[in-house]
Structure 1
Amino acid sequence: MINVGLRLSNVLTKHCGLVFNNKIFDAIDLEEAETMELTQELPLDILSKLCIALVYSKKHDFAFPLIETFLEYDVESFGDIYLDVAEALVENEFHQRALPLLEALTKSQSFCLAAVWLKYANSLSALDRADEAIVAFRHVIHLVPSSEDARISLAELLTKLGRHEEALEAVTQDSEASRIEASVLHHKCILLLKEGRMNQFIAAYKLLMMRHARNIRSKDEIYKACGAKKIGWESADEESADDELEFGASSVELQEEYRLLRLAAEHLFKEKRLVELERICFTALTSPLFRKKRDICREIQFITLQVCLAKGDSYYAYNLARSLLLRCNNLYNNRVWNLLIQVIMRGDDVRYNRFLVRLLLKHPEHVCLSVLNGHACVASGTYKYALDEYMSACKMEPNNSLFLLLSAIVLVQLTCQKFSSGKHSLVTQASSFFDAYLKSRGDCQEVFYNIGRGMHQLGLLTHALDFYKKALQFKPSVTQGKHAHVFDLSREIAFNLSLIYRAADFSSSGFDVARMYLDKYITI
């Protein structure tokens, strides 16, 4: 602006009789000028351009005396000039100098517009004339109820004065209006958060999110939101355009949108309002705004999965967990597999069987898939297929004690079937796997208990007693922590011992021995 002012000053010096105390050749000369004199009278529009140039050139001491003369002219005839000069003063933070011009404009018939009143109100606010500024801001809102700048500025001023209720009222828009200003609604969300009014904040945020997210109306739309259907949203007129709200342009950043969503979700989860939280999460998944950033979209999907698990909604949790598993690099992520298993365990949905079989055909060397398919076969009673899967897992990881135990358990199940052939061979194989399991895992309470259960099921009671008694000689695998008692198997072992002693009279005091184990290890 200094160069613009310089060129204008040169023109005015040459053609309009503007005289400085020094020669003006460049911007430095203009800055060093100490006095200025007009040798002839200029038209007001030219004079206003000179004043604006001087203000932007930081020579406001030259401009202020000239600007004071403007008030001598009729505002109705020269209001546009008043406004141009006032805007230049406001932009350069000279609010006190701009105020007389703006006040004259607000009192005129032709220029008392909302935009002029807003500039007037902002200048009053900048000069800490709060009461007058509040009146001016409210007049702007009266003239233009949708004025977001006026509403937000008024709310900020009232908040600064500690008048929080009035501040909220300033950013509360008509609920019956067909147009909602998103920036004003966002500011209302911020104020409600600061006040700790979480229920009102959540209601306001739901409305704010509706400007970029789709209102969930059916199960089919939830399917699409959680990625179960790879199709786009229908463009059919499910509701008329007249019933939809129109939102004004918003400058709310994506990260801020996501921050508000997280705060709403955390509060609803803390209050156990899981149905409402699930709906908000699925609605967020429909948002093209959130889908623009992959990391945020995936985080929302993960939050939705957690909510579905907490709510017990395994039907939709399965879709989300499956999508999470199929992403790049997640097929070998144990944490993702654990999530999918939690979903499968908590639900009665059998869709996962077909999914796992198809996935195993594509990845035959994936050990988790072999084990899970083995579990599915056990659940359906097809033990031979389960043994095949567990044996495949053992070949891939020969020293995995879990896979050895699973193979041994399935062999025990096959032995106990009524019409199975080669029972002696099956018992021998089961014993071999139990022995490998013991060597792999080492001596501990859990190992001896598991082998004892296997012997117990096979009817080898003498061996079962031996392993159960060895198990009681060891402490639990986990002895520290809040849930350490869960790993103590002494009660289960004692109960099984009592069953054996009561079922088979090993001695004349069999019932007394059973009673002894119950009294020693099982207390109520």
Structure 2
Amino acid sequence: MLEDNLRNHVNDANLSVVDLLASVLMEMSAYVKALEHIEHAQQVYSTGQEIPLCLTIKAGVCHVHLGHLEKAEAHFSALKPENASSHPDLVIDVADSLVTVGQYESALKYYMMLEEDANKYNGYLHLKIARCYASLSKRALAIEYYYKAVKKLNDSVDARLTLSSLLLEEDRDDEAISVLSPPIESESALDTESDMSKLWWRSGKIKLKLSQIYKAKGSFDAYVDVLFPIIRETLFLETVQQKVKARKRLSRGVLSERVKVLDDHQTDNVFHGFRPVASSAELSKASRAKRLLQKKAAVREAKRAAAVAAGIDWKSDDSEDESPQVFREPPLPDLLKEEGNHVMIIDLCKSLSSLRRYWDALEIINLSLKLECNTLSVQRKEELRTLGAQIAYNISDPAHGWDCVRYIVSRHPYSFSAWNCYYKGILRNNRIKKHNKFLHSMRVKHKDSVPPILISAHQFTMISQHQAAAREYLEAHKLMPDNPLINLCAGTALINLVLGLRLQNKHQTLLQGLAFLYNNSRLCGDSQEALYNIARAYHHVGLVSLAATYYEKVLAIREKDYPIPVLPNENQDHVDDKKPGYCDLRREAAYNLHLIYKKSGALDLARQVLKDHVVL
């Protein structure tokens, strides 16, 4: 329409129409057409009055975008520092156009014309100047103007992020942390939640950047304190919102239509007073609709009474349109859609675990795995579940980590480390029977897996069912005959079985048990522990002379300390607190030997053994 108007008035073009048309065309990036209209207007008015400054500047902006910088400067020459304050919008348009084509030095010249009145622009002018200096790699000046900008800007998130990056490049880490940290003033002055959400220091981007700085500095406590709340809130909101279903609300008309089934006020009807002819489902719907209408009427009457009491004209709002449910936006939207964020979540969980904040780490792991729209790769999920299993191994109540533990065991049914983690969790939870079903299913699926067989055998031993335990240990021995632990467990189970009252072939069972113990000693290279186990077995069944012989062999060996095996990320405090000599069994052997001597009447020998090996 504007172009048609100009065609119809070729000789007397309206400059305001030209200005408007040029603005529209420039917004559409049609700089050639805009320039043609402006030049046509210049030709028409060349004999009369001067063309307005705004059109001259627009022509220069068009030349800038078309790459004619010399022509553009000729048009911009009309702007002088002395008259720049009278046309601030034109000056900013000129500078912005130069920025878009990478002419930062020229843009700075025009921005600086307005610096004296920079307070009028609430920090945005300083922000533009700072960006130009940053593009020119003049970081010191860029930092100076970014500081000026963030003091005035209402929304300073992006500016603070850029400023912190520049400070980090200058090795001014503490200043970068200060720029991103909340102000010292309390937030109590802002009462409403809407005000709180607009605070720049509550932005997820700010906290994410701050956490990255803390992590780079090695301040893992601060890193976790900053990052954990926003990750947890984001995952929690996404988990909750994916479960929310739009609740269908019936309109008043639909409810009234349903209630008609129960309408028995028609006195002229021959069936008045009888039960309505309808199905039970329709009658149930009608009853619910009637109650809902009564509830709405009561609420409406209460609102009317409150309005009348307050002296306000009450207007009934019978609108049946339900307002859509508004969800709170998470601090970090689309958190799980980027691979880098997956690594960040895993690093956060590892940091929480290293700081022994196990419950927080488990919460992040469970929320991440719970999301239906989860884009985590199989490898990342495996890492999270493995970490969750390790955490369940450490915490006092591993109930929240059972899913991870079961998954790891299911994925690695032949791994002793995985089953160690599982078994320790069972013992700590003190609810062994609860897990029998899972253990049985694993044994059915993997008949040649030794760890679940051993766990079943250990459970029988704990409840003194030594015959069942021996059966399980012997089954494991068939699969791994050269395993020292299996030989030891099988031997002890058979020897414990010997002490039962119902066993008939006790001597044969005893010999079998000792055979397993001697086999364990052979596999262990006649170690102190293996010899002590043989001595203890002889002592247990009353063969004290043989027991004394092996106790003396134990006393002749000085065993050095060995590190106690631990799982990754396991708490090692209880390991580090061990006193020297915790692997040496000479004191235990000496005490048991002194009991044998004492019972046989050799009190001097018993006293001498205690003096040599037990008394400190």
Taking structure 1 as the reference length, what is the TM-score of the superposition?
0.71
The structure 1 residue matched to 2:446, chosen from 363, 372, 397, is 363
Structure 2 residues without counterparts, runs of 5 or longer: 1-30, 41-54, 247-323, 565-575
- Aligned AA for 1:376? Q
Q: CA deviation at 1:402?
A: 2.6
- Percent of aligned pairs sharing the same letter: 20
Residue by residue over 1:222-243, the C-alpha shift from the partner in whole angstroms, topping out at 9 and shown as x without a partner, is xxxxxxxxxx974369xx9768
Aligned partner of 1:207 among 198, 222, 229: 229
Asked if the contact 1:409–1:430 (Cα under 8 Å) also holds between the matched residues in 2, the reply is yes
Contact 2:457 2:468 in 1 (8 A): yes
For residue 207 of structure 2, the aligned residue among 178, 182, 185 is 185
Q: Does 1:324 align with 2:408?
A: yes
For residue 236 of structure 2, give the secondary structure of its aligned residue in structure 1.
coil
Tell me, yes or no, if structure 1 residue 390 matches structure 2 residue 473: yes
Note the C-alpha offset of 1:418: 2.7
The structure-2 alpha-carbon separation of the partners of 1:241 and 1:455, relative to structure 1 and needing over 3 Å to count, comes to farther
Distance 1:404 1:188, change over 3 A: closer
Return 312-321 or 152-161, whichever deviates more. 152-161
Query: Is structure 2 residue 543 aligned with structure 1 residue 446?
Result: no
* Structure 1 partner of 2:347: 262
Worse-matched range after superposition: 111-120 or 379-388: 111-120
CA distance in structure 2 between the partners assigned to 1:168 and 1:80 by the alignment: 32
Q: CA deviation at 1:326?
A: 0.9
Name the residue aligned to 1:353: 436
Q: Residue 512 and residue 151 in structure 1: after superposition, are their counterparts in 2 closer, same or farther (change >3 A)? A: same
Q: Which residue of 2 aligns with 1:520?
A: 612
Query: Corresponding residue for 2:550?
Result: 467
Cα RMSD between the aligned structures? Answer: 4.6
Q: Partners of 2:392 and 2:539 in 1: how far apart?
A: 40
Deviation at residue 410 of structure 1 after TM alignment: 1.2
Task: Tell me how far 1:98 sits from its aligned partner.
Answer: 0.8
Whole-Å separation in 1 of the counterparts to 2:591 and 2:403: 41
Say whether the 8 Å CA contact 2:517–2:530 is kept in structure 1: no
Task: Note closer, same or farther for the CA distance 1:192–1:289 as it changes in structure 2 (3 Å cut).
Answer: farther
Could you tell me how far 1:313 is from its partner in structure 2? 2.2
- The alignment status of 1:167 with 2:179, answered yes or no, reads yes
C-alpha displacement of 1:408: 1.7
Residue identity matched to 1:168: L
Structure 1 pair 199–491 and aligned structure 2 pair: CA distance change class (3 A): closer
Aligned mates of 1:86, 1:155 — CA distance in 2: 25
Counterpart residue identity of residue 71, structure 1: L
Amino acid aligned to 1:266: S
The 5 Å alignment of 1:45-84 reads: 45-54=58-67, 62=70, 65-66=73-74, 68-69=76-77, 71=79
Distance verdict in 2 for CA 1:523–1:241, change over 3 Å? farther
Per-residue deviation, 1:463: 1.8
Partner secondary structure for residue 71 of structure 1? coil
Q: How many Å separate the matches in 2 of 1:165 and 1:425? A: 76
Change in 2 beyond 3 A, CA 1:266/1:123: same
Distance 1:464 1:169 in 2: 70
Write the letter of the residue equivalent to 1:311.
I
Per-residue CA deviations over 1:118-166 (Å, capped at 9, x if unaligned) read 4344225555165444333443x23xx2x53223234446775774575
Contact 1:412 1:426 in 2 (8 A): yes
Displacement of 1:97 in angstroms is: 0.9
**SS of equivalent residue, structure 2 residue 501:** coil
Q: How far apart, in 2, do the equivalents of 1:169 and 1:370 lie?
A: 56
1:198-228 alpha-carbon deviations (Å, 9 max, x no partner): 65543431332145311799xxx9xxxxxxx
**Correspondent of 2:584 among 488, 495, 498:** 488
Identify the match of residue 378 of structure 2 among 274, 294, 313: 294
Matched with 2:415 is 333
Look up the match of 1:303. Answer: 387
Shift, 1:68, TM fit:
3.5
The change in CA–CA distance for 1:434 and 1:201 in structure 2 (over 3 A counts) is closer
Equivalence map 1:56-135=2 (5 Å): 62=70, 65-66=73-74, 68-69=76-77, 71=79, 85-102=94-111, 118-123=127-132, 128=141, 130-135=143-148
d(CA) in 2 for partners of 1:418, 1:82: 105
Shift of 1:520: 1.3
Paired with 1:449 and 1:420, the residues of 2 have a C-alpha distance of 26
Do the aligned residues in 2 keep the contact of 1:183 with 1:249 (CA within 8 Å)?
no
Question: Shift of the alpha carbon at 1:471?
Answer: 2.8
Distance 1:264 1:395 in 2: 41
Residues 322, 65 of structure 1: alpha-carbon distance in 2 compared, 3 angstrom cutoff: same
Q: 1:342 — aligned with what?
A: 424
Say which is worse superposed, 362-371 or 294-303, in terms of deviation: 294-303
Amino acid at match of 2:613: Y
Quick one: distance in 2 between partners of 1:150 and 1:288? 35
Partner letter of residue 65 of structure 1? E
Aligned to 1:29: none
What's 1:504 paired with?
600
Residues 257-310 of structure 1: per-residue CA shift (max 9 Å, x gap): 64476367537744x555555545555555678761333333333333333433
- Aligned mates of 1:357, 1:167 — CA distance in 2: 58
One-letter code of the match for 1:53?
L
**How far did 1:335 drift?**
2.2
1:480/1:91 CA distance change after superposition, 3 Å: same
Please, which runs of 5 or more residues in structure 1 have no aligned partner? 1-6, 17-41, 222-231
Do the aligned partners of 1:213 and 1:286 also contact (CA within 8 Å) in 2? no
Query: What amino acid does structure 2 have at the position aligned with 1:515?
Result: R
Distance in 2, matches of 1:188 and 1:460, equals: 71
Return the match for 2:458 from 372, 375, 384: 375
Give the drift of 1:416: 0.5
Cα drift, residue 354 of structure 1: 2.9
Q: Distance in 2 between matches of 1:456 and 1:347?
A: 34
Q: Would the alpha carbon gap of residues 47 and 88 (structure 1) be closer, same or farther in structure 2, given more than 3 Å must change?
A: closer
Aligned mate of 2:244, from 235, 247, 258: 235
| AA matched with 2:377 | K
Shift of 1:81: 7.4
Q: Separation in 1 of the partners of 2:72 and 2:369?
A: 57
- 1:188 Cα shift? 3.1
| Distance in structure 1 (CA, Å) of the matches to 2:372 and 2:84 | 50
- Other structure's SS at 1:418 match: coil
How far apart are the structure 1 equivalents of 2:232 and 2:561? 50
Task: State how far apart, in whole Å, the 2-side matches of 1:104 and 1:480 are.
Answer: 73
